[in-house]
Amino acid sequence: MKLDTLVKPSVLTQPVYEPGKPIEDVARELGLDPAGIIKLASNENPWGSSPLAVAAAKRALEHGELYPDGGCFSLRQKLATRWGLAAQQFIVGNGSNEIIELLGHVFLREGDEVVMAAPAFVVYKLVTRLFGATPVEVPLREWRHDLNAMAAAITPRTKLVFVCTPNNPTGTANTAPEVLAFARALPEHVVGVFDEAYAEFLVNAPDLRPLIAEGRKIICLRTFSKIYGLASLRVGYGYGSAEMCALLNRVKQPFNVNAIAQAAALAALDDSDFAEKTARENRAGLADLVRGCEGLGLEVVRSVANFMLVRVGDGERVFNALQRKGVIVRPVRSYGLPEWVRITVGTPAQNARFIFELAIATRV
Ligand SMILES: Cc1ncc(COP(=O)(O)O)c(C=O)c1O
């Protein structure tokens, strides 16, 4: 009997997540010096990691023999103080990606529908499919979530609705009043998931806490991967009602967040200098990238996040040409945008190098 006859159908039809290429892979495949490669493909922090977090992580490594605190007590406590919520209103995950999966464990079964924008962060669709539920994709309108159309796409079968603001891969955001009005109008049988992975880059991020306090079925997702530069440690969190977080905590692995990551995240929350520097430099870098791309006559999507879409013609060709020069960006054909590439905002030197190589790669 062949192995795949034993497998759940949802696994066999499951699309595979395509991550940004690691520097080492590109170096090996193309015979390049890894030291000369820049990766602007995964919306990572070009300024490194929060130094306070790194110091705390190193200290935590001294006790690698101990299991971590499965309840993330200190981190949830600190997040509670930071947000003015109760510690029970948090779930900490192995990246916010894990929390998206936990939502699937808690809420999704075959026949359920999940409303999301298209294109939006691909993991919503992957998790939906993994649990045998049906993604209902609502096209963006002028590059932003079409919240009216998303509300109209809700049916009695809808379980979850994902709103990603700023959105990946477009970098665009709906306004806070738009998001709040949408959240307030969600029907009783729907859980609203508000992915705030890039919210720290926004000036006026929506604040859904008042709606959570009213008892609405809302969960907001944040990550330490971006603004604090801790992507490799895998730590993110959600906040919502205590009831929602208890359900998500019930289905997680006992030790889902390692002790190094917990220590780093705890210290990162004190590192407002690093977070502010990241946001400030990002704004300047975005402006440089817009100027540089438009200077080459290329169209961009105006972003408020730490990445940006630029229309290059044949995205795959330009991605490959840039990669041969040691500049890794993200082709977005899989997001239905074959003419575009997504570029993460780098340091001024990285941005300048990208623009220089882009000029060559798009000169046909
Ligand atoms: C919109 C969005 N949400 C969530 C994530 C997941 O972040 P992490 O799992 O690193 O916390 C990402 C990562 O790129 C993202 O772009």
CA angle 135, 197, 216 (to 5 degrees): 65
Mutate which of 91, 92, 97 for ligand 1? The one with the most ligand atoms within 8 Å of its CB, which is 97
pTM of the model: 0.96
CB distance 346 to ligand 1 below 6 Å: no
pLDDT tens digits for range 158-199: 999 999 999 999 999 999 999 999 999 999 999 999 999 999
Whether the link from the prior residue into 338 is cis, omega within 30° of 0, is: no
CA angle 15, 20, 22 (to 5 degrees): 125
**Domains in the chain, start-ordered, CATH in brackets?**
3-48+272-361 (3.90.1150.10), 51-268 (3.40.640.10)
Answer yes or no: is pLDDT of 364 > 80.
Answer: no
CA of 10 to the centre of ligand 1 (A): 23
Q: What is the DSSP letter of 237?
A: E
pLDDT tens digits for range 262-292: 999 999 999 999 999 999 999 999 999 999 9
Q: Which residues of 62-75 are buried (b: 16+ CB within 10 A; e: fewer)?
A: eeeeeebeeebeeb
What SS3 state is found at 135? strand
pLDDT band at 146 (very low <50, low <70, confident <90, very high): very high
- Calculate mean pLDDT across residues 11-36: 88
Mutate which of 44, 96, 232 for ligand 1? The one with the most ligand atoms within 8 Å of its CB, which is 96
